Copies of this chain bind each other. A is one copy, B any other.
């Protein structure tokens, strides 16, 4: 009964198929958020049979979790992977380079940024994010190194910088179309952030009471 059409195999390497599915899932995730991630759409976009997707990820939830975890790994790799060896020689990564690197990453990986932000916004809350932990850790070392102020609340500061750096390119992407305009917007972000961490935004002389209240952690 050879009624059914030939079932050609496009790919013989299961690992690459898996990656393609995850990549497609990332795209969908970045576009619509985790709640509207559909196996059918992912399979379609990956150019893969729906059954194949179900072979790799038995259920929609499994695919969602696998994708989230894959995103976390990829961000970590992209960000820290290729200079693991550097951090052994160099004690502290210079502030301006670190910021430029972060901003650059966000600008060049809007999908990963979006996916990460969606994850943050998901009510579950991923505490076990490798990237986040490492980022906070390095910021802590920086604060203790003498280059950064010691009274920083590291977690909060890490959150502020990360959240705004990753969200900025998305905001920009929606408002500025051309590559040139986007580059300019990235520069503006880095400059303003540098300005902020160097000088703050208030004129101290006009805020004597606040200066007093927030100096040396006195309440």
A residues touching B (Cβ–Cβ < 8 Å)? 31-33, 35-36, 95-96, 114, 117-118, 120-125, 127, 146-149, 151-153, 155-157, 159-160, 163-164, 167-168, 170-171, 173-175, 188-189, 191-204, 206-207, 210-211, 214
Residues of B within 8 A of A117 (CB): 121
Residues of B within 8 A of A33 (CB): 32-33, 35-36, 118
Q: Is the CB of A151 within 8 A of B120?
A: no
18 A–B contact pairs at CB < 8 A? A31-B123, A35-B35, A120-B170, A122-B174, A124-B174, A147-B203, A148-B202, A151-B195, A153-B191, A153-B195, A156-B189, A156-B193, A157-B192, A159-B164, A163-B167, A197-B201, A198-B207, A200-B200
A interface majority secondary structure = helix
The chain B residue sitting closest to A195, CB to CB, is B214
CA distance A87 to B205 in the complex (A): 24
A64 to chain B, nearest CB (A): 13
Partner of A160, one of B120, B148, B196: B196
A97 to chain B, nearest CB (A): 11
Q: Is the CB of A32 within 8 A of B31?
A: no
Partner of A206, one of B125, B147, B174, B202: B147
Residues of B within 8 A of A206 (CB): 146-147
Partner of A192, one of B36, B123, B153, B188: B153
Residues of B within 8 A of A32 (CB): 33, 35-36
Residues of B within 8 A of A159 (CB): 164, 167-168, 171
The chain B residue sitting closest to A156, CB to CB, is B192
CA distance A119 to B194 in the complex (A): 27
The chain B residue sitting closest to A170, CB to CB, is B121
Per CB-CB distance, the 10 closest pairs between chain A and chain B, nearest first, are A125-B174, A33-B33, A32-B35, A156-B192, A36-B36, A153-B192, A197-B201, A35-B36, A160-B164, A200-B200
